[in-house]
Structure 1
């Protein structure tokens, strides 16, 4: 795009169209680690203590077209190939590679990740230039404006943005730094959904509200196409500020899911009240289950009905110098119901720093150090301790502890649009279980933009 702009063939300040792309390859390895037990009693969601490798490869195209003043349409076809650790089982909020998808395979899969229309209504105030970028046409908008978006996209395309922890193709690899680990936002197994979003910008403030469709079954591809029967709502208030001459932002987010999901207490009650007959190996025909092979364990398949999940969190970012920024996220969800679209976490925090290589005359390099911690509720732990499994976790037994992650990486800019990264992660108490781990993960990443 820049080359066309240089020769006067493309106006990047008032684009009628643009096209970008990216490709990322991630390789992970964890050596053998200690575990008092694995898949105890026939439960099936443990991370294997044997050494493993994992990889993902993605290619994404980003296309934007201006239809009329303020009306833009965006498309993003994507391809992924992947092999996870242990079938993507055994880690709660600390999945070591954010690119991994629940139903991904080593065979490359092509799909349309995004297809949506965005309409901006300018309402006055300071004129602001929006730079040309993937999923953003170069244009100028009013500081006060209403923006409506509808179509196929990710909740995280709009909500819970953080410039120091969010673009994990360039930054941290661990999924706990992509968003709040406890943010069970509505999405299919690939992380996308159909939704409508309204954003109101007023000077340094923005208020966002949205409704997205959840999947028909937890962490699966098919969506529930009824915005009144089942839905995921989110609301966010953002304030951008300048502190000691440095930019920062504070975001408060609240979500409410109404989905066909099970409460842990109901699954336990179904098991106890039936004398163990309603167990994990005897789920009713047609009921969705995770195929737990533990006959003495409760199962969520016996308890699914319309239920609600609530959560709220705070997201902070702050520049310290031109080359150093810090971030913090913290979220509390009610912890009463199963994971439906994201990670098996009920409360979470993450914090850290991102440092630009400008400090050592390599401006496009990045160095990052982050820490995250996740918790599960008491009733969630009781259910897992009885041998139940929930989405990504369930060792058959549990000695409950917070799951903790340290993520350290360095991204080296080889040339203008190619980066290679080395990443180390230390994961304590995988799946919130002190009887297993710690797990060391070493990773390499290659990322190119075009």
Structure 2
């Protein structure tokens, strides 16, 4: 009973935060656009609360395991995030945004084989490269923590001939007019995924697909700390027919680290993206091409394997998590398509690749990824705010990355002790989202993962989840 008390207290706290999010709109001031808490035209205040209960049934194990092996025993986990989105218009074209956030809980992971029900030995968010819960972080503690997720300034400059367009108050948007042709400068702490690859149908794990490799380009090792945020500078050049954006952001000091490396002369991530719009069968579509280059202390897999072979790698602190010197370069590319087929419904596809020579440092252990799917709004069956999503993913590793894992190496997400039967990781995700009230959404989610962690000796894994999301 004593060991359960901390967990019960945490669940109570996080549930209370969610109830607050449901109650506040009843008393909040509302304008004609159903925007809550906008006490003046220069302010924007919004809120989100998301909890995901997700688990998997028992599945076929490999007969061997490592420190990052997904447990083949049945498991159920809970994750929660709650965020305040505070925005303030500063001057013409200028706005300031602050997002305090609380996150807690964990994703499915590894249980100690000798003591599987000792929660202190649980290793969360490991064993699957295309991880099934986009709201979880790769941190050891499930205790709720308060932190600043975003704190940045945005400045918009109108280009010659620009026409005004109205922007409603939303999360990290202040209600105002904005030029349709513009330059946008964003500086501060933010998620780079807020700016790049904004696929309309497969981008937000709080309202769309939950799998990590469906949130963005799977092979993009995008700059971020372990919670998904970083400091940096982004510049966007926006025209009605196309957009060009570039950003330079801090990388973590260590693989999956929460501390960012401010040595910008020797470490950082450069990202560029070109977005173009087209028409197909009288429907507007969007294509995006992304390129990135990261420089960190990440070792090459060749060096990491040599460390393992000569015994110089500390088994308690895998070499892959701590680089010895700067100069580790990872580069890659991504292609993203979205094609509307009806109002709020569409098809999407992505393909991404990185060179796979240096260790994954920030996102997840994927070197190649292809995905495709559909997002269908419920207008067809009389529930326009509901949606069905169906998508498939195939993830792969470079030969060096697979050889490192087979040699007994461990990354921050994968490591079965060996990988004699490498196979691409295959994922199917299906969900149904329903809107119960103006602010409350419930989603039922199913995912099937074949060859989890690229291990053909394990799986498949059936995962079931229920997501509760509040926003206003």
TM-score normalised per structure 1? 0.91
Out of 94, 101, 105, the residue aligned to residue 71 of structure 1 is: 94
**Helix, strand or coil at the partner of 1:165:** coil
Out of 438, 453, 459, the residue aligned to residue 431 of structure 1 is: 453
Greater relative CO (CA pairs within 8 A, separation 6+): 1
Aligned length: 430
What corresponds to 2:411 in structure 1? 390
TM-score normalised per structure 2? 0.87
What corresponds to 1:114 in structure 2? 150
Query: 1:328 and 1:390, CA in 2 relative to 1: closer, same or farther beyond 3 A?
Result: same
CA RMSD, Structure 1 to Structure 2 (Å)? 2.2
CA distance in 2, matches of 1:138, 1:97: 32
Query: 1:79 and 1:10, CA in 2 relative to 1: closer, same or farther beyond 3 A?
Result: closer
Query: 1:166 and 1:8, CA in 2 relative to 1: closer, same or farther beyond 3 A?
Result: closer
Correspondences of 1:175-194 after superposition (within 5 Å): 175-194=212-231
Deviation track 1:75-120 (CA, whole Å, cap 9, x = no partner) reads 1111011122222354343211001111263221011100000000
What corresponds to 1:326 in structure 2? 347
- 1:263, 1:303 within 8 Å by CA — same for their partners in 2? no
Query: 1:148 and 1:270, CA in 2 relative to 1: closer, same or farther beyond 3 A?
Result: same
CA distance in 2, matches of 1:104, 1:443: 21
CA distance in 2, matches of 1:20, 1:8: 11
CA distance in 2, matches of 1:9, 1:83: 32
Deviation track 1:407-450 (CA, whole Å, cap 9, x = no partner) reads 00001111111111111000000001101111000001111112
CA distance in 1, matches of 2:230, 2:252: 8
Say if 2:312 is the partner of 1:278: yes
- 1:28, 1:54 within 8 Å by CA — same for their partners in 2? yes
**CA-CA distance at 1:10 after TM superposition:** 9.8
Which runs of 5 or more residues in structure 2 are unaligned? 1-24, 110-122
- 2:255, 2:322 within 8 Å by CA — same for their partners in 1? no
Correspondences of 1:3-402 after superposition (within 5 Å): 3-6=29-32, 15-39=41-65, 43-86=66-109, 87-103=123-139, 105-123=141-159, 124-272=161-309, 276-281=310-315, 289-290=317-318, 305-398=326-419, 399-402=421-424
Query: 1:430 and 1:11, CA in 2 relative to 1: closer, same or farther beyond 3 A?
Result: closer
**Helix, strand or coil at the partner of 1:442:** strand
Residue range with higher mean Cα deviation, 108-117 or 96-105: 96-105
Which runs of 5 or more residues in structure 1 are unaligned? 284-288, 291-297
Query: 1:7 and 1:358, CA in 2 relative to 1: closer, same or farther beyond 3 A?
Result: closer
**Helix, strand or coil at the partner of 1:5:** coil
What corresponds to 1:286 in structure 2? none
**CA-CA distance at 1:301 after TM superposition:** 5.1
Residue range with higher mean Cα deviation, 122-131 or 330-339: 122-131
CA distance in 1, matches of 2:366, 2:34: 51
